[in-house]
Structure 1
Amino acid sequence: MAPYTPETSAVELVADLSHEIAGKVILITGVSPGGLGAVFAETISKAQPALLILAGRAPSKVQQTVDAITKTHPDARATPPAAEVNGWADVPAIDVLINNAGVMVSQFATNHLAPFLFANLIMGKVIPATAPRVVNVSSDGHRLNPVRFDDYNFRGDETYNKWYAYGQSKTANMLFALSLAEKLGQKKGLLAFILHPSVIGTNLGTHLDWEADIAGLHAADKVFGNEEGWKEFTFKSPEQGAATHVYAAIHPELKDHNGAYLQDSHVADPWTDTVKPWGTSPVEAERLWKLSEKLVGQEFSF
């Protein structure tokens, strides 16, 4: 199997890994049509997973993706979200959870606390799987800020910067996966990964005024001395962006890399890829876990 490249598509990954995908139960959040979650779900359905559970904030948009999958691939089983997923007797285990939902330039709650709470609440369905995995979709946007433990909510508007807020939330996605790998790796056999899908032209940032906001993004990068502050972005297609979703969710070679940060369908190299140390610190990960428990009002021990 040749090494994957930034141009590799999800279709190519699914072709390589179809035997690993077949029969698995996979839950994906954030599956609005045109987004990476929908592209991942539609592509992976060709390899006959046992069940795809599609979850999102807008039931009508989830249903559109469900319909697209079942119309094109009638043998695939796609199910809209259900609050009572823990009570589904016919789904004894979820093999892979993909925390894909999120929005651009958002604060803590949507991009971190929501997947933190959701994943922990359904962990009783994930752990019983033969080889359970949790995948958090982050971004190299984590370069824009560590977690601001003493000012995570930006004092209302007092210290708020949309790009710093986004960077913090993406760093939090990374640290959450590190915590899962540490807490449930050896104890329960859980694999947890973080991925950067690259810059994709999806509906994720449709609420942004890119002509105005790109200057703010470059300015934020320059504050940290990031090279992204002085260069143009290279875009991938959604099909190329979803390739790393498939790699993170399925590829067997990742069993020896629990907690890894992935991009372009490989384990990222901090010497050549954008991987900030504040996103890979076990100390920061534990601090975030404790803060997150406090903010959601519930403790999780496994």
Structure 2
Amino acid sequence: MSPYTADTTADEVAADCAPQISGKTILVTGATPGGLGAAFALAIAKHRPACIILATRNLATAEETAAQIRTLTEANDVKIKCVALDLGSLSQVREAAAEVNALDETVDVLVNNAGVMACPYAKTVDGIERQFGTNYVGHFLFTNLLLPKMLARGVPVRVVNVSSDGHRFSHVRFEDMDFDDGKVYNRWIAYGQSKTANMLFSLSLAQKLGKRNLVSVSLHPGVIWTNLGRDVKQDEFAEIGELDQVQGHRSILEQGLKIKTPECGVATHVVAAFHPSLDAPELNGSYLLDCNPVKREEMLPWGRDPVDAERLWKIGEKLVSQEFTY
């Protein structure tokens, strides 16, 4: 256990991890101003990373975050690159990955932070349910296209997948990930499925590439009011309590919603991306909450099952029409 808690800020963790941040090239997806990706980038920019790559669907928003970073006196020497990344289009994901791979910099730390939450039923341009397609499949392809260059140097690399405690709402529905073409769609269950997939993706990466200097973990940043909740009106969050009651998540109901600031939320991002404690082999593939790995026995089984992780990997390969063998 680290000395960090739910109240620890990203600046505190980044200061402790300054030696690990210095000289690194970090790519974060979903770096929109006001979101967690931007807050993460701003926190680490103060500690002399070599380069920060901001990948967003709307390139203008990445440029806004870049402008915020450039106002930091401590970040004057940091190179910043902006890349257009639309996780809802597999062809565009390939274009974005090719652009990143063509850069002089090689990514040391990839933070898959972008996502959508509880949106109305829709499909990506490739015909995949939108939350699953954006939160998992797009990142699955993007990550695997970047990994060969990341791994080629033989130096330690990290892949962080931002999940959520909303994974409690659903396992991966292997026989019906599309909710019968939307006929039985529940936006929170769909969100839960995608966030479980994020956790299993980190587990797969750890199992497949742990011996090649890769550490991959997933995390829950906390409940934070950001633009991620743009599809949910304030009074509609009551749906969560109703679903928790139906599914029997008593501890969640008893605790109630504990709101974090973005600065406290991305503290867990910084731990996941840089803290040396996670180099311990037994922690590879972990799921982090409040800056600390959750004990395996305290996790829901569908978020830690290696059999499900491998099954999901194969589904990811099928959906992107490409196999990734390591």
TM-score range, shorter chain: over 0.9
- Identify the residue that residue 197 of structure 1 maps to in structure 2: 221
Between 30-39 and 105-114, report the one with greater CA deviation.
105-114
1:163 corresponds, among 188, 191, 206, to 188
Is contact 1:4–1:266 with CA below 8 Å preserved after alignment? Answer: yes
Q: Give the secondary structure class of the aligned counterpart of 2:6.
A: coil
2:244 corresponds, among 212, 221, 224, to 221
Is contact 2:135–2:194 with CA below 8 Å preserved after alignment? Answer: yes
In 2: Cα distance, 1:277 partner to 1:236 partner: 26
Where do residues 1-302 of structure 1 align in structure 2 (5 Å cutoff)? Answer: 3-72=3-72, 73-81=75-83, 83=96, 84-88=99-103, 90-91=104-105, 93-106=106-119, 107-129=131-153, 130-186=155-211, 188-211=212-235, 213-227=236-250, 228-229=252-253, 231-256=255-280, 257-270=283-296, 275-302=299-326
- Identify the residue that residue 124 of structure 2 maps to in structure 1: none
In 1: Cα distance, 2:2 partner to 2:234 partner: 37
In 1: Cα distance, 2:320 partner to 2:254 partner: 38
CA deviations over 1:205-228 (Å, ceiling 9, x no partner): 0221120x2222112212221122
CA deviations over 1:238-263 (Å, ceiling 9, x no partner): 00000000000000111111001111
Is contact 2:221–2:265 with CA below 8 Å preserved after alignment? Answer: yes
Is contact 2:114–2:135 with CA below 8 Å preserved after alignment? Answer: yes
Note the residue ranges of structure 2 that are not aligned, 5 or more in a row.
85-95, 120-130
CA-CA distance at 1:114 after TM superposition: 0.8
- Structure 1 vs Structure 2 CA RMSD: 1.5
Is contact 1:24–1:95 with CA below 8 Å preserved after alignment? Answer: yes
Alignment TM-score, normalising by the size of structure 2: 0.87
CA-CA distance at 1:61 after TM superposition: 0.5
Q: Give the secondary structure class of the aligned counterpart of 1:81.
A: strand
Is contact 1:86–1:124 with CA below 8 Å preserved after alignment? Answer: no
CA deviations over 1:132-160 (Å, ceiling 9, x no partner): 10000000100000000001010122211
CA-CA distance at 1:32 after TM superposition: 0.3
CA-CA distance at 1:269 after TM superposition: 2.7
In 1: Cα distance, 2:50 partner to 2:286 partner: 27
Please list every run of at least 4 consecutive aligned residues from structure 1 whose deviation after the TM superposition is greater than 2 angstroms: 227-232, 269-272
User: Are residues 35 and 277 of structure 1, via their aligned partners in 2, closer, same or farther at CA, if it must alter by over 3 Å?
Assistant: same
In 1: Cα distance, 2:325 partner to 2:23 partner: 30
Q: Give the secondary structure class of the aligned counterpart of 2:231.
A: coil
Is contact 2:224–2:260 with CA below 8 Å preserved after alignment? Answer: yes
In 2: Cα distance, 1:20 partner to 1:296 partner: 33
User: Are residues 223 and 80 of structure 1, via their aligned partners in 2, closer, same or farther at CA, if it must alter by over 3 Å?
Assistant: same
Q: Give the secondary structure class of the aligned counterpart of 2:17.
A: helix
- Among all aligned residue pairs of Structure 1 and Structure 2, give the percentage whose two residues are the same amino acid: 50
Is contact 2:167–2:193 with CA below 8 Å preserved after alignment? Answer: yes
Is contact 1:219–1:229 with CA below 8 Å preserved after alignment? Answer: no
Between 191-200 and 75-84, report the one with greater CA deviation.
75-84
Note the residue ranges of structure 1 that are not aligned, 5 or more in a row.
none
CA-CA distance at 1:230 after TM superposition: 5.2
Is contact 1:220–1:229 with CA below 8 Å preserved after alignment? Answer: no
Q: Give the secondary structure class of the aligned counterpart of 1:176.
A: helix
In 2: Cα distance, 1:2 partner to 1:250 partner: 13
Q: What is the identity, as a one-letter code, of the residue corresponding to 1:86?
A: N
In 1: Cα distance, 2:309 partner to 2:132 partner: 15
Q: What is the identity, as a one-letter code, of the residue corresponding to 2:166?
A: G
Q: Give the secondary structure class of the aligned counterpart of 1:26.
A: strand
Is contact 1:218–1:230 with CA below 8 Å preserved after alignment? Answer: no
Is contact 1:97–1:126 with CA below 8 Å preserved after alignment? Answer: no
